[in-house]
Amino acid sequence: MSNLFPLRLSDAQVRRRGKTILGPVNLELDGQGLTIIVGPNGAGKTSLLRVMHGVERLSGGTVQWGMNDDCARERQAYVFQSPIMLRRSVADNLHYPLRLSGMARGEATPLVADWLARIGLQGQRQMQATRLSGGERQKLALARALIRQPEVLFLDEPCANLDGRATREFETLLLATRDSGTRIVMATHDLGQAKRLATDALFILGGRIHDSAAAPAFFDTPKTPELASFLRGDIVE
């Protein structure tokens, strides 16, 4: 297991304009599996992801990796719900993170070709990335995040705007990524997707974690009435 983990959140809190958005959260994640975060809109899923990734300023508490924050951040990647495409070709979008890391173009080119094949965009390699469909953009964003081989990947509802076929293709890539050893933490509003992907899951409500367990127990025997209601499709506030 990598010395990047465990990830520990201790009384982590985020407050804005006097209102508590998240926390206090106490959580420990190890270095294996695919953790799904579920909860109603506004519950704090995105804030929790951003806190773990280190791009959300804490109002209290701590977030601690198994190494210093700068080294930990270099080993992470994040995919947004609506990723920004560089106004360059599809291939150049994949070359870009490798160039930032100092990799020579001759060394990067085979990696780019490999990832274009994995996401099925070999034929669009010279197309401007902003012209891709929504599903193609998300696959490119995932490849761009993974091409540097991060040890942990955070995703914020990446399939929210995708159709069924694009979602299936994206999930296939995620499962292959998990099986290759990358730790994944993902927020989703789709309970079907959560059940298909999760090795474990968290339920967040009102900025706090109300339930967490390995996937079978989480979905089959919820420990809190709030999670039970949420899983039934009830409105939970």
Percent of the chain clearing pLDDT 90 (strictly above): 95
Region 226-231 average pLDDT: 97
Class of domain 7-85+132-232: alpha beta
Which pLDDT score, from 0 to 100, does residue 42 have?
Answer: 94
Which pLDDT score, from 0 to 100, does residue 1 have?
Answer: 46
> For residue range 17-65, what is the model confidence (pLDDT) as tens digits?
999 999 999 999 999 999 999 999 999 999 999 999 999 999 999 999 9
State the sign of the Cα–Cα–Cα–Cα dihedral 60, 65, 71, 72: negative
Confidence of residue 12 (pLDDT cuts 50, 70, 90): very high
> For residue range 139-197, what is the model confidence (pLDDT) as tens digits?
999 999 999 999 999 999 999 989 999 999 999 999 999 999 999 999 999 999 999 99
Q: Confirm if 95 and 81 have CB atoms less than 8 A apart.
A: no
Region 206-216 average pLDDT: 97
DSSP codes, 109-144: HHHHHHHHHHTT-GGGTTSBGGGS-HHHHHHHHHHH
The residues, any chain, with a CB within 8 Å of residue 9's CB and separated by 6 or more, are: 25, 26, 27, 28, 51, 52, 61, 62, 63, 64
Region 63-79 average pLDDT: 94
The structure's pTM equals 0.95
> Mean pLDDT for the chain?
95
Q: Give the Å distances, CA to CA, from 120 to 8, 173, 190, 208, 213.
A: 37, 11, 25, 39, 35
Confidence of residue 2 (pLDDT cuts 50, 70, 90): low
Which pLDDT score, from 0 to 100, does residue 134 have?
Answer: 92
Provide the greatest CA pair distance for the chain.
56
